[in-house]
Amino acid sequence: MLKKKLSKYKIILASGSPRRQQFLKDLDLDFEIRLKEIEEIYPTELQAEEITNFLVLLKASAFEGQLQLNDLLITSDTIVWHNNKAVGKPKDHQDAFEILKSLSNTTHQVITSVCFKTNSTSDVITEVTKVTFNALSDEVILYYLENYKPYDKAGAYGIQEWLGFVGVSKIEGSYANVMGMPTDKVYEYLSKLS
């Protein structure tokens, strides 16, 4: 359905994330992947979705002057926002353990921004989902880190993995967003393109 509507566009996903690539496949879209190395550094005064909005525009700006008339570039960024600070991907095993310990028995936000860029426009959409964890024992955290190695994930966990099944007590908002892309909002945006 959407594929036919977007047939005049060449969709480019600028993400190495297997989950984001799978989401676009699951939306039945044809797309190509183009990656550019970007240093994901943002001004320290930015808060919450200001960070993800800044980063998706930064990622999109790397393609400035390289998009053809019918190209539609999609960039995305996800952070975990907890205790008024951004929690990114863990640096190592110890960092991952400390992140999960801090998320235990609390509620945090998962914030994703998605940028849609053509050679003349840039639009950004943002989704915020609240995730509440049960109290996580050290044993549970260590088991998860040992068996699932979530070092490539913001907040050191994947909600679609074992820890999401045993540790998450409540979710308010988009489940897909916690995995890295608010697919319903992406679909809605793309549906409105002409």
**Residues annotated as catalytic (active site), given as ranges:** 77
Total H helices, total E strands in the chain: 8, 7
What is the rounded CA–CA span in Å between residue 119 and residue 69?
Answer: 6
- Burial 173-190, CB ≥16 within 10 A → b, else e: ebbbbbbbbbbebbeebb
Q: Is 69 buried (19+), middle (13-18) or exposed (0-12) by CB count in 10 A? A: exposed
Query: CB neighbours of 146 closer than 8 A, spacing ≥ 6?
Result: none
- How far lies 99's CA from each of 26, 141, 158, in Å? 31, 10, 13
* Residue 32 near residue 57, CB atoms below 8 Å: no
